[in-house]
Amino acid sequence: MKKIVASFIIFSSLNVLADSSSLQNQAGSDIDLSSKILVQKQLNLDNPFVIQLYSAWKVLGPVELISNQWIELILDKQYEKALALLPTIKEPKLIAIKQASELYLMYQAGHVQPFLNGWIELSSSTNFLQTELGLALDQIVGTKSTQLLMENGFYITPDISAKLAKIAAVPSKFNYSLQAFNALRTRENALVWIGKLDESDPLRMQLAQTALLHFAKAGKLGASGKIIKGIVEPILNKSSNEEELSLYFMTLGRLLYQAGAMSESKKYYDLIPQSSSYFLKARTEALWAHLKEKDYARTKGELATLELSIFDDKFHPEAYLVSAMTNVMLCQFNESRAAINRFIEVNKKWAREIDKNLKDPKALAITNNFFIANQERAKASIRKEKLISETKKQELLASIDESIKREISSQWQNRKTMLESALYKMKFVKIELISRMRAVEMHMKIAGSDEVTRQNAAPARKNQMSFPRKGALWGDELFQMSATIVNKCIRGELK
């Protein structure tokens, strides 16, 4: 009997252990204890910012229920819901967390333009960049900061530029990218930021070109060489971009020309492929190197290609200028006259085109360069932004449109300056032509002509673009020179 009772007790114990969550009450019904067990919500603190946010939240102690719900939404990666709830967070002790979290939420939700403006505003008006949350946010954003700016566009107003100047000395990867954008076209100041960017950062090449242009204009060829060897070449060694390589060869050609190394200069101009947008400009600039070396045969050969009618719609006024100069030096006066007339016929069309576009508020860009492309991306990013009011959008878009117009106008103004420069140089070509013909007159008798008549060489004043209505500048008899004269000229007998 004792064995039976013991067996029953053991059996009952095993049943209890088999289902410990269920016990029987006095009425004989089951009591479910599993519903009474509270399961702690698992947190996924998977980036530096949420780790700092969670720590800062817990340090604060008890907060309002709505504040707890808001922070939990951030931790749950429900960014849009957290942004919508943000205006309801009123507790003073949450101000710092609220400001930093708003930037984090805008970045994670893809609201790039409000994020950029908010980051610059907060960073320039507080010590946000030195706080734990600021440093944590920079670890997230900084790794792809330049990519973020270039993909979405970054429009810099004078106000933004002034705010960035306040935080120029603060270490931050994202800050360095913003400062680098702000430093473009600022002469030697561009060099300051090159070293602060990663070696693969695409802004390094843009900054290098800014600095190269400045030093080349200042005649600081040594500084230009250091930039090329230390910055440009390492970048291009990893690049297969034809336009980047072509611009590099153009830059080297120009610097070597400026240094007086004509032969080396021509080698780099010759490396630019015909498929590049820099090809025609390179061929035109190379003409000056040929002419300086008195390589008239090569100059004439290059001109034979450049003066084909297929290039009538291309802007390269100095090609005709070099042609006139070369033919003057060779005493080929008929060809010189033809080059001058062709210069007039082609470039008076360009003069009208330039004047028209300088006056036209809807003028198209000559080149859709880095700066125009950046601002067009900024416009597209602003248009789709939901956190910016329609009124503010229109203000921003109008401001960017004005900036693009100024850039386009600057391109056409540069073209006008180039044409005026060519006109100015052509004055001296005509003076040299008259002088050379006078020398001819002194050395031999010309049939049908007793003297060489001098006329005003420059129809324009103050280098303004002005062309005579008729192409012929001198009488035909002045250009009828024999092959004997050409030979004397080549042999240097005519000075």
What DSSP letter does each residue of 66-77 carry, written as one string? HHHHHHHHHHTT
Distance CA 407, CA 419 (A): 19
- Tell me how far apart the alpha carbons of residues 253 and 267 are, in angstroms, rounded to a whole number: 8
> What is the per-residue pLDDT for 45?
81
Task: Select from 116, 140, 119 the least CA-distant residue to 129.
Answer: 119
Query: According to the model, what pLDDT value does residue 309 have?
Result: 58
pLDDT at 215: 83
In a domain, 70, yes or no: yes
What does the buried/exposed string (b/e) look like for 311-344 if buried means 16 or more CB atoms within 10 Å of the residue's CB?
beeebbbbbbbbbbbbbbbbbbbebbbbbbbbbb
Indicate whether 82 belongs to any domain. Answer: yes
> Is 349 inside any structural domain?
no
What is the signed CA dihedral for 480, 482, 485, 486, rounded to 10 degrees?
Answer: 100
Per-residue confidence (pLDDT) for residue 327, from 0 to 100: 85
Give the DSSP per-residue string, 417-476.
Answer: HHHHHHHHHHHHHHHHHHHHHHHHHHHS-BTTBS-PPP--S---STT-----SSS--S-G
Q: Give pLDDT, residue 142.
A: 93
Using the structure block, give the residue that is written with the tokens 């012929």. 472
Q: How many other CB atoms sit within 10 Å of the CB of residue 210?
A: 20
Residue 61 falls within a domain, yes or no? Answer: yes
How many domains does the chain contain in total? 1
pLDDT in tens, the chain (495 residues): 444 444 434 444 444 444 444 444 455 555 554 444 444 456 678 899 999 999 999 999 999 999 999 999 999 999 999 999 999 999 999 999 999 999 999 999 999 999 999 999 999 999 999 999 999 999 999 999 999 999 999 999 999 999 999 999 999 999 999 999 999 888 767 888 988 998 888 898 888 888 888 887 778 878 888 888 888 888 787 777 888 888 888 888 888 888 888 888 888 899 898 888 888 888 888 888 888 888 888 888 888 877 665 566 788 888 888 888 888 888 788 888 888 888 888 889 999 999 999 999 999 999 999 999 999 999 999 999 999 999 999 999 999 999 999 999 999 999 999 999 998 888 888 888 877 777 766 665 544 444 444 444 444 445 555 444 333 333 333 334 334 445 556 555 555
- Domain residue limits at 64: 43-154+169-179
Task: Please report the pLDDT score of residue 453 as a whole number.
Answer: 42
Tell me the HSE value of 82 on the side-chain side, using a 13 A CA sphere: 26
**How far is CA 177 from each of CA 133, 142, 181, rounded to the nearest angstrom?**
19, 8, 6
Q: Which residue has 């430093």 as its token pair?
A: 183
Asked whether residue 292 is domain-assigned, the answer is: no
Residue 44's contacts (CB-CB under 8 Å, 6 or more residues apart) are: 75
**Does any domain span residue 51?**
yes
Q: What does the chain come to in residues? A: 495
Please list the helix, strand and coil fractions of the chain in percent, rounded to the nearest 5, in that order.
70, 0, 30
**Whole-angstrom distance, CA of residue 298 vs CA of residue 300:** 5
H/E run at residue 142: none
| Number of other residues whose CB lies within 10 A of the CB of residue 73 | 19
Which two three-digit tokens encode residue 171?
């270490």
**The tokens 């004397």 sit on which residue?**
488
Residue 73 falls within a domain, yes or no? yes
Q: Tell the burial category of 26 from Cβ atoms under 10 Å away from its Cβ (0-12, 13-18, 19+).
A: exposed
Does 326 reside within a domain? no
* Tokens (6 digits) for 419: 């044409």
The type of residue at 431 is I
| Residue with token string 């120009």 | 254
